Amino acid sequence: MEATKISSCVIDIQGMRCQNCVRNIEKTIGEKLGVTDIQVDLEKKEGIVQYDGELVNPTQISEFVVAMGFASKVKTTDISLGSQQNPTNTISNEVQIIKNSENNVVNDQNQKCYIKISGMTCASCVAAIEKHTVKMNGVSKILVALMAGKAEVFYDKSLVSPQAICDWITTLGFPSNLLDGTDRTKNNDVIQENGKAQVELHIGGMTCSSCVYNIEMHVAKMDGIFQARVALSTQKGMFTFDPDRIGPRQIIDQIINLGFEASLVNQGMERSMSHLDHRDEIRRWRNSFLVSLIFGLPSMIVMTYYMIQMEEDEHHHTNMCCIVPGLSLENLLLFILATPVQFIGGRHFYVAAYKAIRHGTTNMDVLVMLATTISYVYSVAVLVAAMATLQSTSPMTFFDTPPMLLIFVSLGRWMESVAKGKTSEALARLLSLQATEATLVELGVDEEVVSERSIPVELVQRGDILKLLPGAKVPVDGKVISGTSTCDESLITGESMPVLKGKDSMVIGGSVNQHGRLFMVATHVGQDATLAQIVRLVEEAQTSKAPIQQLADKVASYFVPMVVTVSLMTLVAWIIVGFVNVDLLPVSEMEKEAYSQAELTFQFAFRCALTVLSIACPCSLGLATPTAVMVGTGVGATNGILIKGAEPLENAHKVKTVVFDKTGTITRGFPMVTTIVQLVDDAVFYLPKMMAIIGIAETNSEHPIASAITKFVKEALKTDLVAKCSDFHTVPGCGLRCQVSNLDEMEKSLLQSPLAQERLKGSLSKRDPSSPSSLVVIDTSMVKPTLVALSRSESNKNSCFDVLIGNREWIRRNGLDVPAEVESKMLELERMGQTVVLCAIGGVLVCAIAVADTVKPEAHLTVYTLKKMGLNVALLTGDNKKTAKAIARQVGISTVYAEVLPSHKVAKIRMLQEKGEKVAMVGDGVNDSPALAQADVGIAIASGTDVAVEAADVVLIRNDLLDVVACLDLSYRTVKRIRLNFLLASIYNLIGIPIAAGVFSPLGIHLQPWMGSAAMALSSVSVVCSSLLLKCYRKPAKEKLETFSYVKARDTRNLSISDDDLSLPGEVTSKSLGSFSAINRILRVKPSTHSLLVGTDTEDVELGDASHHDASESYPLRKMVSA
């Protein structure tokens, strides 16, 4: 074992903004060769790094940080930490157990692995695995998910290996396989670790060692290959390479060029699908049921026949005996039929029960085996005793119990496995979206196809150019480089309508190209793709446990011992009753005549005790939560709502306050043109031509307002801005001046543009609602024909227009006056939080353009609905008070926290939590990460393909605020279903066990053991089926939420809003529900009045609260939607 000298250094790191930066640096630098540990302090802006001086030095570490985009320099170096033994060779696959598991503490140095576990049937199995695995030396924590059949294990890689953990769980009686670990990542079939990648290939056509040498030699010479190993016996090869320089496809091509066949060893999809649909479990329990049925059905017929014979008057019990003394034909037939069922049909129960008892735990299998074994052994014992004593009658036996009980239990397990497979349908459907092949093309200079070929999707690499034909699945995430089409993204984002795709549009892997041919460049492949991220998040969510499930697991761990105790008490109680007074036993007169007091007492007592063992069911308790969580998270994923675990799913329904970020959440996150105030008539200066000149002038500016105007002009005119712009001059903070000429090439296209067509129709109401330009108000109230006219005939090849665009000061500085009515209009727009620029062409003011970060169309309805659900809504933003209040008024939010730095947003969330409220924070995940993490439920709105926002508990893929309402509603429905499941399971056991124990026998209500087993099977299946009803969930649609009361409130608000609409803090008004401005922009109606936005100078602004109107109108969403 080799000693390694570890040193430490302090690195100064500038540019970090939040804990995401800290985690990113620690993860990236920690994976570098030679770095053993790194801890970054955000407040001190430094990182303490432990490293092996023989492999890396502090300067190199600092350069690594700089390469990540942060400013860095070395503070102190060469702080020796002494020598420590290299633990690499001490990791053992041997199972090491320590008695005190408290020494295993979860910390940042722990690794995480996922293990597939089969054979679990109830919460007792989960408790047994967690209890014994956490005792392993090096295992810090383990979370086992019953429904997902997976375990998440945190371990110290220097003390134990993932394979050793798998082996240990297997010895507990639950076959296990390693799925993945965090010390390496797997992209399709490529394993990446420490900057290197490995791929295993199947190689065909090798005949001798010369073939092996030939492949290894030629592949090893390729640029980026570290190692090539080929095995002739297995016809496989393992290749280690640099993923930044070469990929699996090049390796496969090289092997094929050598004359051999090569393909990826694909292990992933089929195995995942088999795991999700529980196909192995279904097959096992189906076979067990069939074996039990083959022998159990004849057993039932025999039992029924002799029961009918006994009820006939002329038959007596002695008449049916005996083949040999003490052995009747009935008992002989039942013995012959019960024996194969006991030892063949019940072998799965025996094996599982034995392993559980061997490790000191109990589960459902133990109860089943106790009931069947006791009944079988008791029956054999009394039968042998009767034969040995040469009895004239054959004793009553329970040979009918094992086959009948195992029939119903195995049938229940079979049905339960099928139902559990249904709970994973959403995840299986997501996996099935993955395309299997992609068309790789090479494009020429003029974008013509030079070559194309079909390749497996696993071989697609970043930067590849792919062709998408109509009807084809998009293989990976990418960007369109040419072509126009629409894509169906409904199964990924929940967007029901096809999404238009053109040049530079992003496409998502798994969506379906509908009618046009597209060429795309791959940007995210393998585990980086959106679909893979969604699948991973859903799997992790289904692996996690809700807090309510932990209570169920604890109850289940005590359930089996408690049931055994009740069964023994039942046995003893009825034995005492029988010996005290046999007439108190609720048995028939025929039985009293046929058997002695002792025989009758023991038979009845054993029957009741066996029935208690048969009917008790911890499975239903254990399945109540995980089945509902699995269906709930799956339904959420198919509706574009990614819930990252059972805990946020449960906590979301407790939320009392919803806090929204402004930029990118309530608003679109980028400036847009909102209003064009036309100052000259179309006869003086044609509006489309006016906008074209302004757009051409703004193309040379990089200012955000210029970008917004240019984007609007291109959208409205549907043409490229190809005219000439010269003498361009800009003054920061004021505006620009230039000359625009050569418009003749655009004249025809301007006449055919959507904006020109709308002007000809005299209406703007027929625009495409999906177009950004459709939200722009064209205000013609300021048009005055008396202004100086510009003749349209001046537009010729040599015409040149002098253009001025900027603020008031810039216009006046260039010799133009701003009329008082124009000044008044600008003030009106600015009071609504908009930025206004004036435009002059040829020395004449032609228009004023208002630009703002516009409110999302669904924001007002979202806030209204949340308030109707009885929730408080607040706005939390770093923007200035004036803009924040304007936005809040537009959407109906009454509580505003403005000018709050990102680092201080956490304090605001904490302040609300200290009031005893459960808080949900809704943000875009960029600068809101600390606040999202602090909130009880962090909801992030994903942008594009970024669905893995680390700090958030919930990610909304569709970028639709109404999904916030759907998330809370889904949480409520899921928690309601969990509670119903617990109620069903609890009532079943609380009522079923007393009935089985014979408490109600005096009333004529009693059960046979096989009846108990049938009821037990039914209880588990009923709980799973109850959870499956969640699949019928449909999230609230916009049409349902726009109720009559909402429309009425909105219209009333539009008509009655005035300057004195605002209230002081604490006042209540019913007119603060929303602002006319956002709604009117959406409806494209020019407002006749405006609101003067005023307020206090305090940071927290309280506006009129619409949520405090008549309490009778504040009711949960579920009632509103159903109404």
Tokens of 31: 């994976």
Query: Which CA distances in Å does 134 have to 201, 236, 354, 893?
Result: 37, 37, 21, 49
- The pLDDT value recorded for residue 106 is 52
Q: How far apart are CA 610 and CA 463, in angstroms?
A: 67
Point out the least confidently predicted range of 84-88, 209-213, 626-630. 84-88
- Which single residue is written with the structure tokens 């003086």? 684
Tokens of 871: 């929730």
Share of the chain above pLDDT 70, in %: 75
pLDDT at residue 317 greater than cutoff 70 = no
What is the mean predicted confidence (pLDDT) over 777-803? 63
Tokens of 656: 């009392």
Pairing of strands 437-443, 236-241: unpaired
Cβ-contact 644, 541 below 8 angstroms = yes
- The pLDDT value recorded for residue 179 is 72
Q: Where are the beta strands (DSSP E) in 662-782?
A: 672-678, 724-731, 735-741, 777-779
Q: How far apart are CA 714 and CA 84, in angstroms?
A: 65
The Cα angle at residue 712 between residues 711 and 714, in degrees rounded to 5: 65
Residue type, 713: V
Q: Which of 553, 661, 853, 960 is catalytic?
A: 661
Cβ-contact 260, 204 below 8 angstroms = yes
Question: For residue 234, what pLDDT band results from cuts at 50, 70 and 90?
Answer: confident
Q: Give the residue with greater pLDDT, 1103 vs 321.
A: 321
pLDDT at residue 461 greater than cutoff 80 = yes
Question: For residue 230, what pLDDT band results from cuts at 50, 70 and 90?
Answer: confident
What is the mean predicted confidence (pLDDT) over 526-542? 70
Share of the chain above pLDDT 90, in %: 5
pLDDT at residue 843 greater than cutoff 80 = yes
pLDDT at residue 772 greater than cutoff 50 = no
HEC sequence for 777-815: EEECCCCCCCCCCCCHHHCCCCCEEEEEEECHHHHHHCC
- Which single residue is written with the structure tokens 């998502």? 508
What is the mean predicted confidence (pLDDT) over 458-478? 87
The Cα angle at residue 926 between residues 1097 and 900, in degrees rounded to 5: 15
Point out the least confidently predicted range of 758-762, 881-885, 911-915. 758-762
pLDDT at residue 837 greater than cutoff 90 = yes
Question: For residue 1088, what pLDDT band results from cuts at 50, 70 and 90?
Answer: very low
pLDDT digits (tens, 9 = 90+) for 792-801: 434 444 578 8
739, β-bridge pairs: 726, 802
Q: What is the chain's mean pLDDT, rounded?
A: 75
Q: Would residue 661 show up in a list of annotated catalytic residues for this protein?
A: yes
Q: Where are the beta strands (DSSP E) in 90-224?
A: 111-117, 139-145, 150-155, 176-181, 185-187, 190-193, 196-204
- Which single residue is written with the structure tokens 């057993």? 299
pLDDT at residue 823 greater than cutoff 80 = yes
pLDDT at residue 849 greater than cutoff 90 = yes
- The pLDDT value recorded for residue 752 is 59
pLDDT digits (tens, 9 = 90+) for 801-821: 899 999 988 999 988 988 889
What is the mean predicted confidence (pLDDT) over 838-850? 91
Distance of CA 690 to the CA centre of its chain: 48
- The pLDDT value recorded for residue 494 is 57
Cβ-contact 47, 10 below 8 angstroms = yes
Tokens of 618: 């911890």
- At a CB cut-off of 8 Å and minimum separation 6, what does 277 contact? 421, 424, 428
- The pLDDT value recorded for residue 788 is 47
- The pLDDT value recorded for residue 562 is 84
pLDDT digits (tens, 9 = 90+) for 328-385: 888 888 888 888 888 887 888 888 778 777 767 666 677 778 878 888 888 888 888 8
Tokens of 23: 């985690």
The closest of 33, 23, 37 to 195, measured between CA atoms, is 33
- The pLDDT value recorded for residue 659 is 93
CA atoms within 13 A on the CB side of 1066: 0
Cβ-contact 837, 849 below 8 angstroms = yes
Bond prior to 322 in cis (omega within 30° of 0): yes
Question: For residue 44, what pLDDT band results from cuts at 50, 70 and 90?
Answer: confident
- The pLDDT value recorded for residue 320 is 59
pLDDT digits (tens, 9 = 90+) for 68-108: 777 788 887 755 444 444 333 333 444 444 433 444 555 55
Q: How far apart are CA 760 and CA 746, in angstroms?
A: 18
The closest of 412, 455, 153, 118 to 285, measured between CA atoms, is 412
3 state SS of 935: coil
- pTM higher than 0.75 for the full model? no
Tokens of 635: 């339904």
Residue 173 main-chain phi, psi, to 5 deg: 105, 10
Kind plus residue range of the DSSP H or E element containing 852 = strand 844-852
Cβ-contact 906, 931 below 8 angstroms = yes
pLDDT digits (tens, 9 = 90+) for 1057-1067: 433 333 323 33
Q: Give the residue with greater pLDDT, 47 vs 1059.
A: 47
* DSSP summary character for residue 222: S
pLDDT at residue 840 greater than cutoff 70 = yes
- The pLDDT value recorded for residue 640 is 82
430: left (phi over 0), alpha (psi -120 to 50) or beta: alpha
pLDDT digits (tens, 9 = 90+) for 677-720: 988 887 777 788 888 899 989 888 878 888 889 888 888 887 77
The Cα angle at residue 81 between residues 78 and 82, in degrees rounded to 5: 110
- At a CB cut-off of 8 Å and minimum separation 6, what does 987 contact? none
Tokens of 190: 């490529």
Tokens of 781: 């109230």
- Which single residue is written with the structure tokens 């497996």? 456
pLDDT digits (tens, 9 = 90+) for 407-447: 777 877 787 677 666 656 656 666 777 788 899 998 887 77
Tokens of 42: 């955000």
Tokens of 50: 């432990």
Q: How far apart are CA 46 and CA 1018, in angstroms?
A: 61
